[in-house]
Amino acid sequence: MFGRAFVFVFVLILFSCAKKQENDNVKILGHAATGLNILNSVYHDNSKEAVEFALSIEGCDGVEIDLQLSKDGELWLYHDEKLETETNGSGCISSLTSAEISELSYTTFHAERLAKLSSLDFTQFKGKELILDLRQWNFCESMYVPIQQVIDQLLNLNLSNPADFNVICLVEYAAWIEPLHSNGFSVFYPLYSSEEFPKMETQFPMIDGYVLKNPDWNEKEIQQIKNSSKKVYIFEVRSPKGIRKALRKAPDGLITDDIRNTLIEMY
């Protein structure tokens, strides 16, 4: 009798804590689609399958993907500098043509093919957000990627102002901010310290928002950026504790490595 009562009380305490729902305005986006190096991820990051999987989860508001320009000027989804770290190929995206890259696949259980940006089904983004992390550096030839080729690609795909979803260009190279903005793109910039903010605001007032690393920023600093009518998205969000901390900072969006954990914390 005592044992049963103990089990009942234990279960009651364990599961009776009602969660507050006060973060409804925070958007949840998958980092590199379903997260980088995450054990419970079904598909490899930045694959077409991962993008589709992330968008199909109820409550997921969009994805962030990493884009690199191929030798013949097409944008491909890929995160790492070199192909040999994750795929059955070698070299860089920038040193191969699209025909060569299309033959490559990730060395995973599903062996997902590398995906071209143009191969994504943009109809599934309806009402959602797509963050394009544009890589400016050609890793194999140690030179900057020509921005005009990137812009041409994005314009060809009609991503400057799509009718039913939101596209954000995330750039780390300040020289790309102006050309992207003047072509009608919404531009976000990663900030690594609070001292950078006033400088960037003076030099590049056209920036629409900032992407911040979760452990490096507190609620007050984030509020300060939001007060100047800029959007704030937080990344490096993975563990339940980290997700809770990030949600308390009230950003506009979370770029999370674990969509499931984040949705559980959020709702």
Partner 1 sequence: MSEAVSDSFLFTYIWFMQRVLFLLLFIFLVTFSSFAQKRATNDFKKQVGFTFGMNRLDFFSGCHFSKEFRNVQPFTSAEFGVNRSIFQKRIFPRLSLGLNYFVVSSKHFHFGPYISNSYSLLKINANSTHFHHWNELYVGTRIEVGNKWRFTNSIATGWMNERFYSQTTKKVTGVNSLGFFANIGLSYVW
Binding site for partner 1 (CB under 8 A): 14-15, 17, 19, 21, 39-40, 42-43, 48-49, 52-53, 55-60, 109-110, 112, 124, 240, 260-261, 263-265, 267
Token digits of residue 94: 């920038």
Closest approach, Cβ 203 to partner 1, in A, equals 40
Q: How far is the CB of 89 from partner 1 (least distance, A)?
A: 21
If phi over 0 gives left and psi between -120 and 50 gives alpha, with beta otherwise, what is residue 13? alpha
| CB closer to partner 1 out of 52 and 172 | 52
**Torsion angles phi and psi, residue 29, rounded to 5:** -125, 140
Taking the complex as a whole, how short is the minimal distance between the CB of residue 58 and partner 1, in angstroms? Answer: 5
Closer to partner 1 by Cβ: residue 42 or 155:
42
Name the strand (E) or helix (H) holding 51: helix 48-56
CB of 54 or CB of 225, closer to partner 1: 54
Given the complex with partner 1, which of 220 and 241 has the nearer CB atom?
Answer: 241
Residue with tokens 């452990």: 215
Q: Tell me phi and psi for residue 230, to 5 degrees.
A: -110, 145
Residue 193's Cα: distance from chain center in Å?
20
The HSE-up count of residue 220 (CA atoms within 13 Å, CB side) is 0
In this complex, which beta carbon is closest to partner 1, that of residue 133 or of residue 265?
265
Q: Nearest approach, Cβ of 183 to partner 1 (angstroms)?
A: 29
Token code pair at residue 170? 């995330």
> C-beta of 165: minimal distance to partner 1 in Å?
12
List CB contacts of 196: < 8 A, sequence separation 6 or more. none
